[in-house]
């Protein structure tokens, strides 16, 4: 089978489940085997993979199936949870398997519900090295601490997303270390830094306000404007008032009840309402839990070209 035929076959196989490809389609013929083993799925290995690895690990070794199967994924989700990695004594062996067989990832999710596993920084360093020029997005969630990242340059990383918990509130020093040793110096083309659940860690919010206030872009509530200078804000016109940082807003995401009724939701007074935002460049409507791009007015999000912080709940 030539390269052209393999590409066609792989294009069709991408609409199938990754496990089905390996368990069934890979056995059809030698050419199908080559196509399946060289395909790259733009998704994650199934969560059950970690439970399987715990069961099949023998003295640091795993069945050959897994060394081939793990190579086909472009994304990796690391769920450190007893439901997925039931035996953390197997983690060192599992981490070696991942590092030796996963390369050129575009997205990594680190979700830690337990304590950080042993030799985790060494594992991350090697994992990042394997994908240094391909990683585009990193998502971090850790219940009890702020996860620091290895000091390695990731030139194509554009998005970092962190979910904070109440237990993270006193981890400001760890966050400062993460920002100064990784975010500020190792990610030259970072565009988005999102913080989820910031209301649960007020000390973390204060840290960002003190050090990165000029980079804040979007917040979930209009009342955020009383404390944070934003460029984008979700608002309900009926609840709008003169907030401290309203003049900083460049784009509004307006909640509306009915796109067909112009006077609904306070639109009769839209001229007075919008006078709170002298530097407004654009408006988009949020209706029925969807953003209506067809209602977008003027200009584009030019500030997306530089780093910013976004607070979301």
pLDDT tens, the chain, 313 aa long: 455 578 888 888 888 889 999 989 888 888 888 889 889 999 999 888 988 998 899 999 999 999 999 999 999 999 888 777 777 788 999 999 999 999 999 999 999 988 888 889 999 999 999 999 999 999 999 988 899 999 999 999 999 999 888 999 899 999 999 999 999 899 988 888 888 887 788 888 888 888 887 777 776 666 667 777 777 777 766 666 667 777 888 877 777 676 666 556 555 666 666 777 888 887 777 666 555 443 333 322 223 323 334 443 3
pLDDT at 308: 39
Closest CA to 265 of 240, 231, 234: 240
pLDDT at 309: 44
Q: Which two tokens stand for residue 88?
A: 């953390």
CB neighbours of 308 closer than 8 A, spacing ≥ 6? 191, 192, 193, 215, 216, 217, 231
Q: Which residue has the tokens 């200009």?
A: 299
Q: Are 219 and 246 in contact (CB under 8 A)?
A: no
Tell me if the pTM is above 0.85.
Answer: no
pLDDT at 310: 43
Encode 51-70: b = buried (16+ Cβ within 10 Å), e = exposed: ebbbeebeeeebeeebebbb
Q: Which two tokens stand for residue 166?
A: 């109440």
d(CA 60, CA 92): 8
Closest CA to 120 of 101, 94, 143, 139: 94
Q: Are 230 and 216 in contact (CB under 8 A)?
A: yes
pLDDT at 298: 30
d(CA 180, CA 192): 16
pLDDT at 303: 30
pLDDT at 313: 36
Q: Which residue has the tokens 């654009």?
A: 282
pLDDT at 107: 97
- Exposed, middle or buried by CB within 10 Å (0-12, 13-18, 19+), for 256? buried
């Amino acid at each position: 089978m030539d390269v052209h035929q393999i590409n066609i076959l792989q294009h069709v196989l991408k609409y199938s489940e990754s496990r089905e490809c390996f368990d069934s389609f890979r056995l059809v013929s030698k050419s199908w085997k080559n196509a399946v083993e060289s395909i790259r799925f733009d998704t994650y290995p199934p969560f059950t993979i970690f439970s399987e690895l715990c069961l099949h690990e023998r003295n640091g070794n795993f069945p050959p199936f897994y060394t081939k199967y793990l190579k086909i994924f472009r994304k990796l989700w690391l769920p450190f949870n007893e439901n997925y990695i039931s035996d953390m004594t197997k983690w060192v062996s599992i981490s070696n398997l991942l590092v030796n067989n996963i390369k050129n990832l575009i997205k990594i999710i680190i979700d830690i519900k337990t304590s950080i596993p042993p030799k985790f920084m060494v594992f991350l360093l090697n994992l990042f090295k394997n994908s240094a020029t391909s990683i585009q997005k990193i998502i971090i969630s850790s219940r009890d601490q702020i996860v620091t990242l290895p000091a390695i340059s990731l030139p194509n990383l554009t998005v970092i997303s962190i979910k904070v918990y109440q237990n993270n509130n006193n981890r400001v020093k760890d966050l400062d270390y993460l920002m100064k040793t990784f975010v500020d110096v190792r990610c030259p083309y970072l565009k988005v830094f999102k913080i989820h659940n910031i209301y649960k860690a007020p000390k973390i919010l204060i840290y960002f306000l003190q050090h990165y206030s000029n980079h804040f872009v979007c917040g979930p509530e209009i009342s955020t404007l009383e404390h944070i200078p934003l460029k984008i804000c979700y608002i309900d016109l009926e609840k709008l008032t003169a907030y401290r940082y309203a003049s900083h807003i460049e784009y509004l995401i307006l909640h509306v009840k009915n796109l067909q009724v112009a006077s609904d939701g306070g639109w009769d007074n839209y001229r007075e309402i919008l006078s709170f935002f002298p530097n407004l460049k654009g408006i988009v409507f949020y209706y029925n839990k969807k953003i209506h791009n067809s209602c977008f007015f003027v200009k584009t999000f030019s500030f997306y070209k530089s780093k910013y912080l976004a607070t979301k709940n």
